[in-house]
Structure formats: C-alpha cells, structure tokens
A and B are shown apart, each in its own frame.
Chain A
Amino acid sequence: MLSDEQIKNLESRANEIRQDIIKMLLEAGSGHSAGPLGMADVFTALYFGGVLNYDPKDPWKADRDRVILSNGHICPVWYATLAHAGFFPHDKLLTLRKLGSGLQGHPHYRELPGVENTGGPLGQGLSQAIGHALAARIDGQNWHTFCMMSDGELDEGQTWEAIMLAGKNNLHNLTAIVDRNNIQIDGFTEDIMPLENLVDKWTAFNWSVIEINGHNIAEIIAAVEKAKTIFENPTVIIAHTIPGKGVGFMENKFEWHGKPPTAEEAKIALHELRTLGGKIRSEHE
C-alpha cells in the first residue's frame, strides 16, 4: 500500500505529464488531446506505482513486463510517461510528430526505448499482447503483459477474436486495461456503436473483470495488483475515465478526441493544470 504522501506525489506526477501532453500537442500542431489527458493517471500509476517490472537503463531486459499500446493515437501520454520514467531525455518530447523523431504520430515498434509495439489502426494491440503472453507461457517465464486499449476500438472485430482466444487459453499472465471514456472521434460510443454491457460481455468470454475509477491512483494500483494474482483467466480492468481530464473545456467533449489545442487554448489549459483548477496560485502568474 502506498502512503498518502506517495499517492499525492503520483498525482502531481500525473499533473506534470498532462502539462507535457498539452505542450507536445501545441508544438506538434496536430494529434489527440482527450484520450492522453484522460489516461494520465492510469499510465502514472502503472509506471510509478511499483507494479511494473522495468529498467529504463536496460529497456529490453528479458524479464521486463510488457506494455502494449493498442489505441496508438493516445501515444503522447505514453511518450511523456516513458520520458518521466527515464527511458529517454525529457526534451525529446517536443519532437512529437516531427521529421526524424522517434516520437512518431502513432507508436512504432522499438523506435524509442520502452515502445514495445506498433499501434494505430485500431484493434491490433490485444492480439500482439496475446502473442507475448503465449511466448512467456511457452518459455515458462513469469513476466506479465499489459495491453492498454480504448473503448472505441472494441468496435473492431479483431478485438473480439483476441478476447475469445485469451479466454480459451486462460491467459492469466495478460491484463487488458480499457479506457472507458465513452467517446470516440465522431461522438459518444453509445451513439456510434453501443458497447454495453461491457462487464457481461468480457465475463462471457471467460475474463475476470475489475471496474475502477481511472483517476483514483490507489484504485488503479490495487486493480493491477489484483489482476496479477488471478490465475484462472485473463483480467480486464475497465477504467472509467473522463476524456480531457484536468482541462475543463475539453472534459467529456468528443470534439477534443482528435485535435490539438491552439496557442490560446494551451495557455488556458496549462494555467488550469498548474493551479489545479484555481485551487492554488501558479508560479507563472
């Protein structure tokens, strides 16, 4: 269990990551805002909560836990988290989407230390994660594979092919984390293509299901720890999140799925993040 102070530290780390995301998107001039901001707490908890086995100095060490990002478009949050974790210099973040940068618009396999897969076209990540989990099982290795996914990509048939196979093989060394933020690029998920009841659906495919508040650091860490102790079948953590979390004018707006802030909007967003929504004064004021 993390102390209250440790949790507070992680919360401010997530806040810094959100600020980095805004700066990266502003500099890039294109990219996705809502998803990365919404998943900042989950990525922070995963990489800084003591639940993931990794070494930024030896990023491909054989016994590392694998993190696969299926919905590649939220990569700004992955890149920012990896930089904070020491996988590559922090100043590289502002090269996002620029010519010659390892920070591709959608992640490219091993283009950067810690980037474990290629992702972008939706629905491909869980299959790749299953490949890793099967390899670990064949080799008798104990490392764990995590697959970060979106709710929108559950529209893809391939995702359900993968869910079916992982359930069939009782892949307990695999955990999927679904960003249940209820939006996709053209609207709300339940308007575009209704997904509910997600708990019943995953359960029917022989997965253990844990539902959490995706902004509660302690809850996220506890869910990941629990998922690792389930040996009967694979686990999906359905993380309920607010798209655009931390930036009021972006929150819960599907219009912010696939666009970056303007300079003016970025200024407002950064001010809001620095002052925790006006609760404290910013040193920049």
Chain B
Amino acid sequence: MNKFLNSKLFDKDVERVPTRNGYGEALVELGETNKNVVVLTGDLKESTRAEEFAKKFPERFIECGVAEQNMTGIAAGLAAAGKIPFISSYAVFSPGRSWDQCRVSVCYSNLNVKIAGAHTGVSVGPDGATHQALEDIAITRVLPNMTVIVPCDVYEAKKATRAIAGILGPCYFRFAREKTSVITDRDTRFEIGKAEIFAEYGTDAAIVACGPLVYQSLVAAKELNEEGIKVSVVNNHTIKPMDIATVMRVARNCGAVVTVEEHQVMGGMGSAVAEVLAANYPVPIEFIGMQDTFGESGQPEELLEKYGMSVVKIKEAVKKVILRKKFA
C-alpha cells in the first residue's frame, strides 16, 4: 500500500466526505491568492459548493441562471480577456448541454476555461438517470486541447482544483454527489498527468481506476490478496493527457488490466486506457463501468451493485482477466 494514503482507509468507520467539498474549499483559497479567478454558475451555487466563493468575492461571481450554453460562452469571453473562469454546474448540464459551446467557443480557441461537473455517476442516486452523468468523460476527452481529470476523493479534488487553476487551457473535472470514502491524505502526491500506484500487492493483474471507485478497487485488491491473488491498483485520475508511461509499465509488469470507472464503458477512462495499450502494449482488459445502459433511482450502493461496479464485480473481473492472460 502507498504509505501516503489515509491510514484508516480499511476501517469500518472510514471518513466519508463528498468530493465536491474539496472543490468548494479550493475555490475560496484560489479567490484569495489569484484575483483572476472568476466563478460562474447556472443556479447551482449551493450544491456545487461555489457558495462560499460567491459570498467572499461577489464581484467575481457570475450567476447565469439556468442557461449553460450562455454560461460557457461567457466563460470563453472572460478567458479571452485574461480571467480564469470556473464553471460550476451539474455534469449532465455542463458539459452535457453546452457541448457545442465547449467545442467551438472554448476548445477550438484553446481558452483557459475550467469546467467543474458535479453529480456524476449512478451514485447520484435517487434523482435518477436524468441527473446521473455517465457520458461526460467521453464527450470531453474527444475535444482537442481539453484536459480531463477525475479526482478520487475530497483531498484529491482540492489538490486538483488548485492544480487546474495553474495550468493554461481548457479543463474538465468531475465530482460525485454523495459522501465517498477518504482515500488519500493531505500529503498524498497529486500531479496532473501523473497516475499514482496506490497498492502493489503483486503482478497478477493491474486495476486501473479513477474517481471514488478507487476505494472499491483498493478493497477488492486487499480481499484478493487474502485469497492469494496479488494485484496492483493505479489511481488514473488524469484521463487526458493520460500517463502513458505508468499505464504501459503496469500493463507490462502485470500482463492483464481491469479498468474501473463510474461512467459508460464506451468512450470512458477504460476506453482511453485500451487505446493506449492497443497501440503500445496489448494485454487482456476487462472493463468495469456502465454497460451501455441508463441508470435509475435508488440508493448509491444499490445502484453500484446493480450496475456491476461493486467490490464483488471488480474481484470477478480480476479473476476473469487473469484467466484470459493464462490462455491468451
């Protein structure tokens, strides 16, 4: 295990905090240290955690109403004029509803716009399929110039938000709605474009995960270790530009990969890993994620189980991919 992770990670009462809280805290910090940081929202400042920034820096907070296309275009204009705009909304609306504006006004001009997508994955829960963003990684990573980041917990969300303000160019990053397990610590390293090996029990297979499901992946790895199956777990938080060196290294060392994400398997992080490995070092891959279907209302844990993103399913996928490796 990476010694910089939360020491109470496997405790029954592991601390659970929504990742979006880290975003909100970082925004306030950035507001104080960088006068060019501007925050926009489409009637969602409270639940996207932009409210504290709005209270402290009202002159740099822009309430756009329920109008994500206009909001994205305004952010492009602000960036062209030298500002660092953060767009705070739900991912199903932004970039979901504002994709053309992301493409034309933001990415084609390579403008310094930061798009924070809250409420992603089936774990959004009771609100149902309409509000569960499961396509956002696919539609953003396909855009040239866009950086795409999926923080795994509240600390990483905070570090990612700070780091994103420090790079030039468009960036999309996503958050979960529910409280999720705190995996990292204040001191865990985070660098955009640098995947981190969070567990290294052995080289039977590698689990490459992103977002809060990194927790389920680590639990699966620990339980597999107790069964005599030794895997490594990679926190692949930067989907684009991907850390090709690290992904290739674990593929070469392990010879089999399971990707884990709370997103459609088509076009998501796993697809991005498959693109890298198919071109450089092909190994058997199993994909954990949404299998070309919409979600529904329910409790987050129930939904993760029903749609195949539980610890049990990750373990099954590891066993299957190891079999495939043996008979390849």
Q: Which residues of A does B touch, CB under 8 Å? A: 66, 68, 108-110, 116-121, 123-136, 138, 157-158, 161-162, 164-165, 168
Which 7 A-B residue pairs are closest in the complex by CB-CB distance?
A131-B77, A127-B73, A135-B81, A161-B70, A109-B109, A161-B67, A128-B77
- The reply on B108 being an interface residue by CB < 8 A is yes
**Is A157 a contact of B108 with CB atoms below 8 Å?**
no
Interchain Cβ contacts under 8 Å between A and B, 14 examples = A66-B81, A108-B108, A109-B110, A117-B76, A124-B73, A129-B77, A130-B74, A131-B85, A135-B81, A138-B59, A138-B60, A158-B73, A158-B101, A164-B67
A1 CB, min distance to chain B CBs, angstroms: 32
**Is A136 a contact of B108 with CB atoms below 8 Å?**
no
A230 CB, min distance to chain B CBs, angstroms: 21
A-B contact number at CB 8 A: 105
Most chain A CB atoms below 10 A, which of B75, B80, B82, B108: B80
Query: Which parts of B23-75 form the interface with A (CB within 8 Å)?
Result: 38, 59-60, 62, 64-65, 67, 69-75
- The reply on B6 being an interface residue by CB < 8 A is no
**Is B69 a contact of A120 with CB atoms below 8 Å?**
no
Q: Nearest CB to that of A119 among chain B residues?
A: B104
Q: Nearest CB to that of A116 among chain B residues?
A: B80
Chain B residues with a Cβ closer than 8 Å to the other chain, count = 31
A165 and B63 alpha carbons, distance in the complex (Å)? 9
**Is B77 a contact of A109 with CB atoms below 8 Å?**
no
Please give, as numbers and ranges, the residues of chain A lying within 8 Å of B67 by CB-CB distance: 158, 161, 164-165
**Is A132 a contact of B77 with CB atoms below 8 Å?**
yes
- The reply on B79 being an interface residue by CB < 8 A is yes
**Is B69 a contact of A158 with CB atoms below 8 Å?**
yes
**Is B72 a contact of A127 with CB atoms below 8 Å?**
yes
**Is A162 a contact of B83 with CB atoms below 8 Å?**
no
Please give, as numbers and ranges, the residues of chain B lying within 8 Å of A165 by CB-CB distance: 64-65, 67, 70, 74
- The reply on B105 being an interface residue by CB < 8 A is yes
**Is B79 a contact of A131 with CB atoms below 8 Å?**
yes
Please give, as numbers and ranges, the residues of chain B lying within 8 Å of A164 by CB-CB distance: 65, 67
Q: Nearest CB to that of A131 among chain B residues?
A: B77
B188 CB, min distance to chain A CBs, angstroms: 35
**Is B109 a contact of A131 with CB atoms below 8 Å?**
no
B246 CB, min distance to chain A CBs, angstroms: 34
B65 CB, min distance to chain A CBs, angstroms: 7
**Is A131 a contact of B64 with CB atoms below 8 Å?**
no
Please give, as numbers and ranges, the residues of chain A lying within 8 Å of B73 by CB-CB distance: 124-128, 130-131, 158, 162
**Is A127 a contact of B104 with CB atoms below 8 Å?**
no
Please give, as numbers and ranges, the residues of chain B lying within 8 Å of A131 by CB-CB distance: 73-81, 83, 85
**Is B82 a contact of A135 with CB atoms below 8 Å?**
yes
The answer to whether A121 and B104 touch (CB under 8 A), given A131-B81, A134-B74, A165-B74, is: yes
